[in-house]
Amino acid sequence: MAGRVEGRVAVVTGAAGGLGREFCAALAREGAAHVIGVDIADQAGTAEAVEEAGGRFVAIRADITEEAECAAVAARAEEYGGAQILVNNAGVFPVRPFLETSLEEWRRIHRLNVEGTFLITRALLPQAIRAGWGRIVMVSSAVVWLGPPGMVAYTASKAALVGMVRGLAREVGDTGVTVNALTPGLTRTRTALTTDVHEQFPHVVAHQAVPRAEEASDLTSTLLFLCDQGSAFVTGQAVNVDGGYALH
């Protein structure tokens, strides 16, 4: 039986660990011809996970906030037939009170979360349009529905992705390319567990309908739905997966 993304070339940003690694392995299990991981960090662990899932992994070390490096990623993707799936997962999520947020930090957050997503999407979108089939998934965040204190810069950057999804979905709706957002809740990734964010887990879990911490694996089925052939009529949407915290 064919996988849900059988034969497709998929690019995942922020692929070195956490959600990115889980997404790469899931796409491989569902038949992606090649999974291309993009990150500034070492991706050896992701390569191993993809190979265990029966897939072929291509690691590209690139900074998506640099236009030239995004162009280089697009050139590499062309070598494998062109990208048809793009999962925009790269991002940073610092916790800092608004009045303590410097302009430099605000710009740093938006440069990766928003500008980087713009640059890599603009670089790869022509390949999907040319193929007449494509799936773009922006990994936003459930914070856009909740507005938690101490995360104003991050929330603003992730809300920008939802706006990008809505506008781009209409712009490319006649090309066979869909554009959607996935909005995870606070998820047990290495980054979350080794930063100040980990202190929020008890509070978040207490307010969820599902009373346990979210794992990266909780997001893969929704990601695969947004990437598969059967989701061709789903576009411009932000799908929330947070255990029933934000009931929007």
Query: Using one digit for the tens of pLDDT, what is the confidence trace for 83-116?
Result: 999 999 999 988 899 999 999 999 999 999 999 9
* pLDDT tens profile 194-230: 666 667 788 889 999 999 999 999 999 999 999 999 9
Strand partners for 179: 136
Residue ranges and CATH numbers for the domains of the chain are 9-241 (3.40.50.720)
Mean pLDDT of the chain: 95
**21 within 8 A of 46, measured Cβ to Cβ:** yes
Mean pLDDT, range 21-33, rounded to an integer: 98
- At 21 the pLDDT is 97
- At 94 the pLDDT is 84
Closest by CA to 90, choosing from 224, 234, 191, is: 191
Mean pLDDT, range 111-126, rounded to an integer: 98
Please list the active-site residues.
154
**142 within 8 A of 184, measured Cβ to Cβ:** yes
pTM beyond 0.85: the answer is: yes
